[in-house]
Amino acid sequence: MFKNKKFWLIISGSILSFVIVTVISMENTTDITKKEKHTYTKQVTIANITPTSHQSYVQSFAIIQPRWSAKIKSQVDGEIIEVSPNALEGNWVSKDDALAQIDPKRYQAELDEAKQLLSQMQLELKLEQEKTKQIQADWSRSGIKESPSDISMNIPQLKAIEDKVAYAKSKMLYQENMLKHTTIQAPFSGYITIRQISPGQKILEGEELFEIIDNNHLDIHVSLGEQQWNLLDKSIWKKQAANIVNENDELLAQANIVRGGGYLDSKTHQYTLFLEVIQNQVNHSLSGQFVHVQIPGKILDNVLQIPQSALTQEGNVWYIDKKNQLQKYATQALFYKGEWAYVYPPKELKEDTIKIAINPLSSFLIGTVVKEVKH
């Protein structure tokens, strides 16, 4: 009796275990089926985009540079007796403004001495000229038919005095120039960026005193790769203004292309364009400012304007075909503008509206059936 009961208990336990395993297996199978079904019905956000013509843009980062910048050096020795309050760093000065004054006493004395020498030489010249006239008159009255020598006519003596007068004039002009250099002046209008002197300081000829940069003429140098260079329409490129925008994509000014493209930079092997900020817009931009330059290029036909997010780092664009299956093709951005990238469509779809996946995932597989969600 006890043995039979034990037998049936074992049989019952085995049956119960089989049922539990079967149920668990069915649940797992159901989960797998659901997951597989979910995978094939993944939702993909798309934008319907049709190839059309677009104005291309060549874009590059650059730094606004002053056309003129100068290190102002002393032309004379001496003691600084005054520094203008306007000559401090950051101040704007006008052309010929006095920035500093070197003690002029020594140079004024040397100028006075040069003037005195010139006056003396001019007097000696006048006397020698009178003497020469008298000698010539006496020779004419003498009736001598032979030609007189230059020395007898006082010509070399007169020439020597004339040379002394010329030397005295040159010396006076030189001393005037030296005295003028005791006043340090701005060579052009701009901002003082460096001041290296103080009142009472003794300086030597050639010593650097200030640095100044121009703020009225601003230039931009742009480096372009071959693809960017080929986007430019060379027939009208100098007639189109480039946009200069800041890091927030706000328009600061416009610039004209003035020259460039005649050679490749030996280090970067890129083309260089030289732009000039339009004169009446220089106040909207600053020298040294890091900017984004946008130059109008050619009109390109049959081009897709897609969100930049739609172009993967590997250079692929994913789209949904007519069977609601994922497809991709490799491409390269022709140019960028704002949040958009501009690319050519695949050859087989160049005239069709294409369902572009806006945010492609790394898990995308070609041929996967998906459900589109319009952006």
Q: What is the pLDDT along the chain (375 residues), one digit of tens a residue?
A: 444 555 555 565 566 565 555 545 554 544 444 444 444 468 999 999 999 999 999 989 999 999 999 999 999 999 999 999 999 999 999 999 999 999 999 999 999 999 999 999 999 999 989 988 888 888 888 777 788 887 878 888 889 999 999 999 999 999 999 999 999 999 999 999 999 999 999 999 999 999 999 988 899 999 998 889 989 988 887 788 899 998 888 888 899 999 888 888 888 889 999 999 987 766 667 788 899 999 999 999 999 999 999 999 999 999 999 999 999 999 999 999 888 999 999 988 877 899 999 999 989 999 999 998 887
Distance between CA 354 and CA 372 in Å, rounded? 12
Please say whether the beta carbons of 325 and 372 come within 8 A: no
Q: Are residues 357 and 238 in the same domain?
A: yes
Distance between CA 53 and CA 67 in Å, rounded? 38
Res 152: pLDDT: 79
Q: Is residue 8 part of a domain?
A: no
Res 53: pLDDT: 94
Domain count, the chain: 2
Q: Is residue 309 part of a domain?
A: yes
Q: Are residues 224 and 368 in the same domain?
A: yes
Q: Are residues 257 and 190 in the same domain?
A: no
Res 11: pLDDT: 60
- Which of 158, 164, 160 minimizes the C-alpha distance to 121? 164
Q: Are residues 350 and 243 in the same domain?
A: yes
Q: Is residue 359 part of a domain?
A: yes
Res 39: pLDDT: 46
Q: Is residue 292 part of a domain?
A: yes
Among 180, 198, 213, the domain boundary falls at 213
Q: Are residues 365 and 231 in the same domain?
A: yes
Q: Are residues 104 and 140 in the same domain?
A: yes
Q: Are residues 195 and 98 in the same domain?
A: yes
Distance between CA 113 and CA 352 in Å, rounded? 92
Q: Are residues 315 and 350 in the same domain?
A: yes
Q: Is residue 5 part of a domain?
A: no
Q: Is residue 3 part of a domain?
A: no
Q: What's the CATH code of the domain at 288?
A: 2.40.30.170
Q: Are residues 353 and 284 in the same domain?
A: yes
Three-class SS string for the chain? CHHHHHHHHHHHHHHHHHHHHHHHHHHHHHHHHHHHHHHCCEEEEEEEECCEEEEEEEEEEEEEEECCEEEEECCCCEEEEEECHHHCCCCEECCCCEEEEECCHHHHHHHHHHHHHHHHHHHHHHHHHHHHHHHHHHHHHHCCCCCCCCCCCCHHHHHHHHHHHHHHHHHHHHHHHHHHCCEEECCCCEEEEEECCCCCCEECCCCEEEEEEECCCEEEEEEECHHHHHHCCCCCHHHCEEEEECCCCCEEEEEEEEEEEEEECCCCCCEEEEEEECHHHHHHCCCCCEEEEEEEEEEEEEEEEEEHHHECCCCEEEEECCCCEEEEEECCCCEEECCEEEECCCHHHCCCCEEEECCCCCCCCCCCEEEEEEC
pLDDT in tens, 112-131: 999 999 999 999 999 989 98
Q: Are residues 168 and 126 in the same domain?
A: yes
Q: How many Cβ atoms from other residues are within 10 Å of residue 350's Cβ?
A: 14
* Type of residue at 177: N
Res 315: pLDDT: 93
Q: What's the CATH code of the domain at 78?
A: 2.40.50.100
pLDDT in tens, 145-181: 788 887 878 888 889 999 999 999 999 999 999 999 9
Q: Are residues 136 and 251 in the same domain?
A: no
Q: Is residue 45 part of a domain?
A: no
Cross-strand partners of 185: 98
Among 167, 185, 213, the domain boundary falls at 213
Distance between CA 296 and CA 266 in Å, rounded? 26
Res 151: pLDDT: 84
Q: Which residue has the tokens 């390269």?
A: 332
Q: Which domain holds residue 201?
A: 69-213
- The model's pTM is 0.66
Distance between CA 92 and CA 366 in Å, rounded? 64
